[in-house]
Chain A
Amino acid sequence: MKSITVNQLPIGLVRQVERVNAPSNKPELAQQLEDIGFLPGEQVTVLRRSLLGDPLMVRIGTSTFALRRAEAQLIEVAIISQ
């Protein structure tokens, strides 16, 4: 199944997290994103983007986080809703 990353999600669309990829230059980012709740199966929504598209305001489960585009790019979501 094809998947897209969180930064590509249209605003307001609810999707489930598939996995978090670790970037080669900073592998610990993946663990940190998982720690704050970006885990497989969790519901994720992009609430808004700032003027230049960076950072994003993302709802994950019941929490809201500000993420930079580079961080949002690491999170893959399912392309269709379950």
Chain B
Amino acid sequence: MKSSKIHFFDSDPLLALLGNPNCGKTALFNLLTGSRQKVANYAGVTVERKEGRLTLPSGKAIRILDLPGAYSLYPRSLDERVTCNVLLGRAEGEKRPDLVLCVLNATNLRRNLRLVLAAKRLGLPCIVLLNMADIAQRKGLKIKLADLSAELGLPVISTIGIKPHGADDLKHFLDELDWSNLSRLTTGTAQVNSLLNHTETDNLRVHQILEKLALNEVVPDVLADRLDRILLQPIFGPMILVAILFLIFQAVFSWAALPMEAIKWVIDALAGVVSSHMSDSWIRSLLINGILAGLGGVLVFLPQILILFFFILLLEESGYLPRAAFILDRLMATVGLSGRSFIPLLSSFACAIPGIMATRSISNPRDRLVTILIAPMMTCSARLPVYALLISAFIPNQKLWAGLDLQGLVLFFLYLVGIVGAMAVAWVLQHFTSKQFQVHALMMELPSYHLPRLGNLLISLWQRCEIFLRRVGGVIFVLTVCLWALSSIPAPPPNASGAPIEYSLAGMLGKTLAVILQPIGFNWQISIALVPGMAAREVVVSSLATVYALSVVNTEASQSLIPLISHAWSLATALSLLAWFVFAPQCLSTIAAVKRETGGWKIPLIMLGYLFGLAYLASFITYQTALIFGWG
């Protein structure tokens, strides 16, 4: 059946935020609408349009659209195309904005003003927001709002996106605005379809304006220059980058020890209370072996995840990330990618899904596709519990030279294997694409350094915490209960000698799968846990906890998973499972994201196939090598 689309547009006026990348549109959007969209100090954080609502003091409601940043209205990548389509009224399901808020980075008027001139030609009502006004003032830039307004022929309002009252002037202005007569804010006549290139004439006009405002002097960014001299020094720069990454993984283990002990203690205490107050029944088994063992097993890793995110957020806020991309660009070039792929790949350390979405800012379609294909190999935070579990159980906690601990080193190594694997795949893919597509644009802006704001950091960390807890309470909880049920029915025959789980549905499934997975050293318990782990990687940990809790023949109170598996598995099996998790596409939501971003099943299927193939191969080699070393 064919259906025709009818759009019902909200009658409230629609405002769109337009500006260069990294000029603070999203910070303003969050301030105006009370949203908490991600902000960070690099270009290209926002890759799709986001809508929010603002109720003015007078009670009038308006809709605000946050748009991806653009350097011009000639789009070069998917995210910039979103912006252009909205402004031209071509975006599906959205009317043309009633008013455009042109956001200027006050410290970089030279480049930002050109976009205002281009926006004026759209024939839409515009007002200008002079954002980061506080930083400009600190730099000694005196921008006279009235003069700028006279030159542009548009109202100019100063804003500070990161201060609680930084948008009050704007709200006041919007309240006073005559919404029925917006056309007086339209200065240009619509020249949407004009193919004329105005860039050079616009630039001359910007120079005139800056000269009139006595702002034509180029103020050097002394702090950035000084920091860059050290951080981007050709030899020390890369060493500092490696040292920073190294420190992060050391911290993930050493700082988390205490809070992890605390969480474990609480869970054990709860299990103790349940087992002493309840008689032996299926409910007690569900509570102890299912929920407490399963969820507790995952919850324990929250501190490590938060420490990892703390460092990622610091890097994002400070402005160091694009510099790291600068340092690594040469290396990326040898495998046929550009530094532009670095930021999506780095986002994938949190989760592959935002990483895959961030590839929209890569202008070259081939580069974008390769980046999507290798993104799942970056170790996402959901893999951290699995790694941490296996490392804690099998790698001795000993100090090496210079106070480095072995466990942190192994974790660093696992991350490294993922990166090297991804680079190798990119290198192979380079040979499948014709040379003519291989002009890689970098053109990446290196922003000023900003001191990360503690409040912002804490809010973002709390958001990560919420996301994790929601996963634990949602998908992980549901799957744990399902797995417990499948592991408990049917009941074992009366003369059974083994644990009841061996006769259950899950047990039978595990034993079937184990036939295929036996050459890489996985037993039937691991095989069971891998299946629900497809929904979310952490579920492997909770599933192992449940399966092992049910496998113990004498029904002792829940025993910690770490000592259980360190007795039950050989080192060869543990190493093989680690190798499996470096590569295996154990996450259905990533596959769904890839399908959405590439618009078909072809790429996600290729991805599934090659990642499972790689995982099996890596585990096979690891297991067989470990057997030779006598670690079986």
A binding-site residues for B, Cβ under 8 Å: 23, 25-26, 28-29, 31-37, 39-43, 47-52, 54-55, 57, 61-68, 70-71
CB <8 Å contact, B339 and A26: no
B60 within 8 A of A: no
Contact across chains for B218 and A31 when beta carbons are under 8 A apart: no
Complex contact B232–A36 (CB within 8 A): no
Pick from A40, A54, A55, A64: contact of B200, CB below 8 A: A40
CB distance from A18 to the nearest CB of B (A): 12
Bound CA span A50–B444, Å:
15
Given A37-B111, A39-B203, A67-B442, answer yes or no on A52-B232 (Cβ-Cβ < 8 Å). no
- B441: Cβ under 8 A from any A Cβ: yes
From B238, B326, B333, B445, residue with most partner A Cβ within 10 Å: B326
* B439:A36 contact, CB within 8 angstroms: no
Interface status of B74 (Cβ within 8 A of chain A) = yes
Q: Which residues of A contact B446 (CB under 8 A)?
A: 57, 64-66
Residues of chain A within 8 A (CB-CB) of B436 are: 25
- Give the residue of A33, A37, A47, A67 whose beta carbon is less than 8 angstroms from that of B110: A37
Assess whether B325 is in contact with A66, with CB atoms less than 8 Å apart. yes
Q: A35, B71: Cβ atoms under 8 Å?
A: yes
Pick 16 A–B contacts, CB within 8 A, sort by A: A31-B199, A32-B71, A32-B76, A32-B363, A32-B441, A36-B111, A47-B225, A48-B228, A50-B326, A54-B329, A61-B111, A63-B108, A66-B325, A66-B326, A66-B339, A68-B329
Q: CA separation between A28 and B199, bound complex, in Å? A: 14
Bound CA–CA A70/B443 (angstroms): 11
Query: Which of B108, B219, B237, B326 touches A55 (beta carbons < 8 Å)?
Result: B326
Q: What's the interface size class on B, roughly?
A: 35 or more
- Chain A residues within 8 Å of B451, by CB: none
Q: Which residues of B contact A51 (CB under 8 A)?
A: 234-235, 238, 330
The residues of B that contact A32 with a CB separation of less than 8 Å are 71, 76, 363, 441, 443
With a cutoff of 8 Å between Cβ atoms, the chain B residues found around residue A66 in the complex are 322, 325-326, 329, 339, 442-446
By a CB distance below 8 angstroms, the chain A residues around B442 are: 55, 66-68, 71
Contact of A31 among B74, B107, B235, B325 (CB under 8 A): B74
With a CB–CB cut-off of 8 A, which chain A residues contact B237? 50
Tell me the B residues contacting A by CB distance below 8 Å. Answer: 71-72, 74, 76, 107-111, 197, 199-200, 203, 207, 218-219, 221, 224-225, 228, 232, 234-235, 237-238, 322, 325-327, 329-330, 333, 338-339, 363, 436, 439-447
Contact pick for A54, options B110, B327, B330, CB 8 Å: B330
Counting residue pairs across A and B whose Cβ atoms lie within 8 Å, the total is 115
Nearest-Cβ distance from residue A43 to partner chain B, whole angstroms: 6
* B218: A residues at CB distance < 8 A: 43, 61-62
Q: Are A62 and B329 in contact (CB under 8 A)?
A: no
Q: Contact: A62 with B330, CB < 8 Å?
A: no
Are B445's CB and A65's CB within 8 A? yes
Q: Are B330 and A65 in contact (CB under 8 A)?
A: no
Cα A50 to Cα B439 in complex, Å, equals 19
Report Cα–Cα, A32/B218, bound state, in Å: 23
Q: Provided the pairs A61-B110, A62-B219 are in contact, do residues A71 and B441 lie with their beta carbons within 8 angstroms?
A: yes
Partner of A67, one of B203, B219, B224, B443: B443
Given contacts A55-B339, A71-B441, A71-B442, contact A62 B199 (CB under 8 A): no
* Chain B residue with the shortest CB-CB distance to A53: B330
Task: Output the nearest chain A residue to B235 by Cβ-Cβ distance.
Answer: A51
Instruction: Tell me whether B441 and A41 are in contact (CB under 8 A).
Output: no
In the complex, which residues of chain A have a beta carbon less than 8 angstroms from the beta carbon of B108? 61-63
**Residues in A neighbouring B444, C-beta threshold 8 A:** 65-66
User: Which chain B residues lie closer than 8 Å to A36 at the CB level?
Assistant: 71, 111, 443, 445
> Residues of B contacting A33 with CB < 8 Å?
443
What is the bound-complex CA distance between A50 and B513, given in angstroms?
A: 50
Closest approach, in angstroms, between the C-beta of B103 and any C-beta of chain A? 16
CA distance A42 to B108 in the complex (A): 14
Asked if A70 and B330 make an inter-chain contact with CB atoms under 8 angstroms apart, the answer reads no
A44 CB to nearest B CB, Å: 11
Q: Which residues of A contact B110 (CB under 8 A)?
A: 37, 61-63
Listed from nearest, the 7 A-B pairs whose CB atoms lie closest are: A35-B72, A35-B71, A51-B234, A61-B110, A64-B446, A39-B203, A66-B326
